[in-house]
Amino acid sequence: MKKIGIIAAVCSVMIGIQSIAPLAAQHGNRWMSAFQLAQNETEAIVMSQTSLELESGKEAQLQVQYRSGGAVKNVSIEWDSNDSDIAVVDSNGVVTAKEEGTAIITARVGGNTAVCEVTVKTGLEGIRLMPTELELEEGENAALSVVCTPSDIAYIPEIIWSSDNEDVVEVDDRGNLTAKKQGKATITVQVGSFTKMSEITVKGEEIPLNAIQLTDSKVVLLQGESMELELTYDPENTTIQKDVAWTSSDAEIVSVNNRGEITALKIGTAVITAEVDGKKDTCEVTVEEEQIPLESVQLSESKIELKKGEKNTLTVTYQPEDTTDNKEVTWTSSNEEVAVVRDGEIEAIALGQAVITAKVSGKEATCEVTVKEEGIGLEAISFEEEELNLKEGEEATLKVIYEPEDTTVEKTVIWTSSDESVVSVKDGIVKAVGIGEAVVTAEVEGKQAYCDVVVQKKPVDDVKLQYEIYDSENGWLDAVGEGETAGTEAFSMKAVRIRLEENKIGGGIRYSSYVQDIGWQGYVANGVMAGTIGKDQRIEAIKIKLTGAIASKYDIYYRSHVEEEGWLGWAKNGEPSGSEGLEKEMQAIQIVLIEKGQKGPSE
């Protein structure tokens, strides 16, 4: 494919450009402007235009202001384009349109951004290619020309020339043609989104085709196999168009595509015919079934326990499943006085043991059957306590209750914990390992019982952490201690107070809330309210940190329960927790103190 770039004179149109002299530095297509203006960098900003349409080569001025309506002053504005091939922006917010397409221009002030979608059009309405048909002799040269409409556009996109058969006709980046050998080729020109084609025919001495021949006259394939038939020409240098028509006498047995590739579909025989310029040749294809030997068989059960009179059915699986060997199964029992088998169905006759054997094409699989006296079955199991609340390091014992009590099943209990890092369990003894929640499960004879275990942090002994929240439904709720939940997990938090009591270490605690329509408030300390009351503005996130001597001994961990999200992961030591910027309310909070060097609840 050949390409040519057209350089056109363009007239820059400046839209509302103000004369400013910024101090600027360019990094690729990213400019940083230090405007000596005065505004808080944390306030949201908006663009003077959110969308813009320009012709290639034209310019436009973008401006930024605060969402409140104030001018942006005394802060740096960073301008950026996501596609500099389409549009670029300088340090003053001046956008220059380049190639056709869409680019996003972004302005940044501090941590806030505003964007404008710029659509660039070339102004090109269409093209004509002349001539649309042309005949050449081998070795002859010619030229194609393209005309753009309108003829006076300011910018002409890149012109791309291509030939679909460069062995016949080559085209360079200016539309110049070279006829290489006899045949046909289509020349395509592309300008922007417009394309046109010209059909080129190259003439030469014609050499007729005498005959064609397939290299194979007979082929044997296994079902599912494929191969490509090869064709030779007499003479090899014939100038006729070598378009081959392939046909099958029975496409359900053997299919053939336009490349001469045949596929064996089912058992049988079909004749494949190739035809070129009236000349034909054939290949007889025979399809045979592939023999897939049986490697092994397996029964659905290897051991079964039955009560006298009970029945159970075994099933056989084959390896491989698509074996072509005979799949007829012969069933036998080693002791028909204990158990009999018919077509895989086992019936328990008397106490004892028997081995059931399935035999298929010389392969065998067995199942050991034990027949026991009929006993009292187990209907269900349960715990006396379905919920446990423990502190780290505490233990509790769960007792399994059987229904009915006089069941004769073997009362072997399998104990498991859904999270061994939170709760471990052995022989019914539950131990609180780490902060969190886990489910302890007991299983007997396929019956299960569950206990939900909540593990809270063991409070430290040299300081008392207390916290309380104000929610939209209840007002101030009762204060809770370290690791406990403050809030309902249902109603919006409006305010929070956190304090350290009986502090034997020294130092304090500071916290800041992210409030709806306000953002981050300033830090407050030890029991002072963070948030708002009476303004119907929710808390969306929080940051908490220790100060002074206590900060040298403990890390403070906290997590938020957020609307539609539930409990988020743990944050610590001043990290934000919540839905800052997502406009979702906090509904509850948990806070713990962890001694330096110890693992936190999130680790």
Task: Measure Cα distances from 195 to 53, 150, 162, 189 in Å.
Answer: 24, 16, 11, 6
- Domain count within the chain: 6
| 579 and 470 in a common domain | yes
| Helix intervals (H) in 218-330 | none
| 550 and 507 in a common domain | yes
Q: Are 134 and 200 in contact (CB under 8 A)?
A: yes
What pLDDT sits at residue 74? 78
Residue owning tokens 């080559």? 170
Least confident of 38-42, 108-112, 577-581: 38-42
Q: Which residues pair with 233 in a beta bridge?
A: 212
| Helix intervals (H) in 485-573 | 549-553
| 265 and 170 in a common domain | no
Q: What is the mean pLDDT of residues 491-510?
A: 95
Q: Which residues pair with 493 in a beta bridge?
A: 471
Last residue in a domain, options 203, 223, 252: 203
Return d(Cα 264, Cα 262) in angstroms, integer: 7
| 581 and 471 in a common domain | yes
**CA-wise closest residue to 368 among 385, 348, 384:** 348
pLDDT beyond 50 at 147: yes
Least confident of 34-48, 166-180, 535-549: 34-48
Least confident of 24-28, 39-43, 53-57, 436-440: 24-28
| 578 and 564 in a common domain | yes
Q: Is residue 87 part of a domain?
A: yes
Write out pLDDT tens, residues 323-358.
Answer: 888 999 999 999 999 999 999 999 999 889 999 999
What pLDDT sits at residue 7? 28
Give 183's pLDDT tier (boundaries 50, 70, 90).
Answer: confident
Rounded to 5 degrees, φ, ψ at 309 are: 95, -15
Neighbours of 290 (CB within 10 A): 13
Domain that holds residue 269: 211-288
The string of DSSP codes covering 449-503 is EEEEEEEEPPPPSS-EEEEEEEETTTEEPPPEETTPPEE-SSS-EEEEEEEEES-
Return d(Cα 125, Cα 128) in angstroms, integer: 11
Give 31's pLDDT tier (boundaries 50, 70, 90).
Answer: very low
Last residue in a domain, options 399, 424, 456: 456
What CATH number should be reported for the domain holding residue 104? 2.60.40.1080
DSSP letter at 297 equals: E
Q: Is residue 9 part of a domain?
A: no
| 587 and 495 in a common domain | yes
| 230 and 130 in a common domain | no
| 421 and 346 in a common domain | no
Return d(Cα 494, Cα 537) in angstroms, integer: 6
| 525 and 406 in a common domain | no
Q: Is residue 26 part of a domain?
A: no
pLDDT beyond 60 at 4: no
| 215 and 199 in a common domain | no
SS3 per residue for 178-241: EECCCEEEEEEEEECCEEEEEEEEEECCCCCCCEEEECCCEEEEECCCEEECCEEEECCCCCCC
Q: Is residue 5 part of a domain?
A: no
Q: Are 186 and 164 in contact (CB under 8 A)?
A: yes
Least confident of 32-36, 167-171, 490-494, 573-577: 32-36
pLDDT beyond 70 at 309: yes
| 195 and 217 in a common domain | no
Last residue in a domain, options 203, 226, 260: 203
pLDDT beyond 70 at 33: no
| 359 and 255 in a common domain | no
Q: What is the rounded end-to-end Cα distance, in angstroms, of the chain?
A: 57
CA 278 to chain centroid: 55
Q: What is the mean pLDDT of residues 539-544?
A: 96
Half-sphere exposure of 367 (CA within 13 A, CB side): 30
Residues in the chain: 603
